[in-house]
Amino acid sequence: MQIIALLLTFLRLGHASASLHQQAKRGAETNATIYAYGANASSWPIAYGVNDGLLYITEDPTANDGIVPIEWDLASITGECWIANATFVNGTKAGSMYIKPEQNYAVGILPQTRVAYLNGTVSGFALFATQLVYNNNTLLEAQFWAKSTNTTGIYGLMWTLDDSSPNGDFPVVVKASEDS
């Protein structure tokens, strides 16, 4: 399923025409909520774990201690900016989204906002239309994964390097929706 989602992304990119620019430009969002779509999470918001700074997928973030909702400023892939910034509902800046290789490729927030470079190319997250993708040295990837935690109904947001999955985990597509 994840492979298929990726192929679709590439296909759509491959057919990109003059309209892509406008379409993607419209994709930039402010104060957006990001949602995970997958086997056990249909449009579940992605929230912030205050104890570890990692991102979690759960149906109602406000119902869980230690998990708080966050909002995002997201650029579109046509921009130069690949930094996805999060803000708490009280207006305090939380930081920017990063893949954390040292924590089994969990996706989390680091307070510092720095531009990451891979082989001299800017890397990071931005929106392809409404889908959140990762620019890995100019290759666009969407390899988000939901990993079960000790709490039923709460999944950790992960990044996968391949398509192998332990039991109970499933791939997710991450999409942004601007709050209205």
Ligand X SMILES: *[C@@H]1O[C@H](CO)[C@@H](O)[C@H](O)[C@H]1NC(C)=O
Binding site for ligand X (CB under 6 A): 30-31, 39-40, 50, 68, 73-75, 81, 83, 85, 88, 90-92, 99, 113, 118-119, 136-137, 141, 149-150, 159, 161, 168, 170
CB distance 86 to 132 below 8 Å: no
Smallest gap from residue 174 Cβ to ligand X (A): 14
Q: Output 78 or 149, the one with its CB closest to ligand X.
A: 149
Rounded to whole angstroms, how far apart are CA atoms 180 and 178? 6
Report the C-alpha gap between 158 and 58 in whole angstroms: 14
Cβ nearer to ligand X, comparing 17 with 65? 65
Question: Which residues, 6 or more positions from 59, have their beta carbon under 8 angstroms from its beta carbon?
Answer: 41, 44, 45, 153
Cα pseudo-dihedral 105, 174, 98, 111, rounded to 10: -130
C-alpha dist (Å) from residue 56 to 3, 76, 120, 145: 22, 23, 31, 11
In the chain, count H helices and then E strands.
2, 15
CA distance 176 to 141: 16
Cβ proximity to ligand X: between 14 and 162 the closer is 162
Minimum CB separation of residue 11 from ligand X in Å reads 19
The smaller minimum CB distance to ligand X, of residues 17 and 48, is found at 48
Half-sphere exposure of 75 (CA within 13 A, CB side): 17
Q: Which is nearer to ligand X, 1 or 17 (CB)?
A: 1
